[in-house]
Each structure stands twice: as structure tokens, then as C-alpha cells.
Amino acid sequence: MEVRNKNGGTGFQPVQEFRLYRRKLPHWEDPGYIYFITFRTFKHFILPEKARQIILDSCRFHDNKKYELYACVVMPEHVHLILQPLEKTDGGYYSIAEIMHSLKSYSANQINKLLRGTGKMPVAPGKGEAPGRDVQPGKNVSAGKVEQSKVWLDESFDRIIRDEKELLEKMNYIATNPIKTGLVEKLENYKWLIVKGWIE
């Protein structure tokens, strides 16, 4: 949960006890628990391979710093994670909001830099649109700057994993996602997949 601090900036409250809050979706947080999280691209934006690597590297970067990462798969239009927030040095645990802000803001910035040179951002077709259409990033003509294009939807879907059985089910779901969607025939052939102790 993001809050305004006394200096007018924003910050994230550490999770010290169970809490429930809502934006458009409900979010439950409880210290020490493991979460299954899904976040999606804005307007079904298709992540090119180099963009998928950016988000995978970002997920790895925060492992053992803000959370313990159990599993991650970066699909063309969404990302699934299983992670356990770590305790902060000043008390409480990292919040899902803070973790997601770190992942989304950094990766969106890097993806925009990557795609700025191409001048186009491929997206999946919406209703009534032709497949493979391109969207030009917006331009702020008066300032002469290219605006950042939105990469991720604002909210993420998160769920507290209740027990070991559910953890194994979700890890299996992540591991088999690229096969079920027809991206690869073997797990080892999918480059943007991490399952701790199995595929890294």
C-alpha cells in the first residue's frame, strides 16, 4: 500500500500484520506468506524476446533482496510469479505493492528504451482489429521528447498460497504454461522460465 510521507513524497508501508485493501481488485497481505502473482501487459502488448529477458532479469535481481523467488515465467502478454516477501531491516515485510512497483517501473523504463529505436510497439489484436498491428509510441511535440509508452496494467492479481499442495500446483502451472500455450514442446526450450531447484 502506497502512502504519502510528511515530505510530500510517496512511500510504501511495510506489512506488519494481516491487512486487506482494495483498488479495483482486493489485495490480502500477511507477513511471511508466499504469493502467486500475475501481472499483464497494457492493451495486450506483446513482449518481444529482448523485453521478456528484461523482466526476467528484473525478477532475478530482486531475489533475496526484497523477496525469495520460487518460480517465474514471462509469457508474451503476462508474467506469473511465486514469491515470498522478505523482512525489511526497519521492521515489517516488503509489501506486494512495493515489490510490483520495483518490477514494473524498472522493466517498463527499460522496455521503452529498447523499443524507442524501433519506433513501434507491437500489440495483440483487440476486437475487430487485424493481427500484428503496430502502435506508435506517443510524442510530446512541444517538449520534443518521446513519452513513455505504458507497458503494464496498473494492478496485479495476487493470491496468498495456503499450503504446500497449492504451492506445488502453482509451481507446476508456471512450469507448464509455455507448453500449454504452444510456445515450446519442452520446458528446457523456454528461455524465460525459473522454477527454483529445477529450472534456473
pLDDT of residue 148: 60
* In contact, 123 and 44? CB cutoff 8 Å: yes
Report the phi/psi class of residue 53: left, alpha or beta, with left for phi > 0 and alpha for psi in -120 to 50. alpha
Domain with residues 2-195, CATH architecture: 2-Layer Sandwich (3.30)
Q: What percent of the chain has pLDDT over 90?
A: 54
- Phi, psi (rounded to 5 degrees) for 127: -65, 130
- Indicate the DSSP class of residue 10: E
pLDDT of residue 86: 95
> Residue 146 pLDDT more than 80?
no
If you average pLDDT over residues 122-148, what whole number do you get? 42
- Phi, psi (rounded to 5 degrees) for 166: -65, -40
Quote the CA–CA distance of 142 and 178 in Å, as a whole number. 43
> Residue 139 pLDDT more than 50?
no
Report the candidate in 193, 197, 199 with the shortest Cα–Cα distance to residue 177: 193
Structural domain boundaries in the chain: 2-195
The average confidence (pLDDT) of the chain is: 79
* In contact, 72 and 56? CB cutoff 8 Å: yes
Quote the CA–CA distance of 42 and 24 in Å, as a whole number. 16
- Phi, psi (rounded to 5 degrees) for 124: -70, 155
Would you tell me the crossing angle of helices 49-61 and 96-116 to the nearest 10 degrees?
150
> Residue 131 pLDDT more than 50?
no
pLDDT of residue 188: 85
If you average pLDDT over residues 98-117, what whole number do you get? 91
74-112: burial string, b at 16+ Cβ within 10 Å, e else = bbbbbbbbbbebbebeeeebbbbbbbbebbbebbbebbb
pLDDT of residue 12: 66
Highest mean pLDDT: which range of 1-15, 162-176, 186-200: 162-176
